[in-house]
């Protein structure tokens, strides 16, 4: 089960990279700011999920 959570964590990073590339491509439009917001949100979710998973693992070890 822990491997699945790690895959989802890295999925957020992949999504963030895709959104950053799309932001660079569409930089002159209004759409770019929305894509940039989504990329920041995906990076935040990566770190949030990683921290939550580590807390869960530590709690189960005790």
**pLDDT tens-digit series, residues 27-47:** 999 999 999 999 999 999 999
**pLDDT tens-digit series, residues 46-60:** 999 999 988 888 887
pLDDT of residue 61: 76
Contact call for residues 19 and 49 (beta carbons, < 8 A): no
Helix, strand and coil percent figures for the chain, each rounded to 5: 90, 0, 10
For the chain, domain boundaries: 3-58
């Amino acid at each position: 089960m822990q491997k699945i959570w790690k895959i989802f964590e890295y999925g957020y990073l992949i999504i963030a990279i895709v959104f950053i590339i799309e932001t660079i491509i569409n930089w002159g439009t209004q759409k770019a700011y929305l894509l940039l917001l989504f990329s920041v949100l995906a990076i935040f979710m990566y770190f949030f999920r990683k921290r939550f998973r580590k807390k869960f693992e530590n709690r189960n070890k005790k």
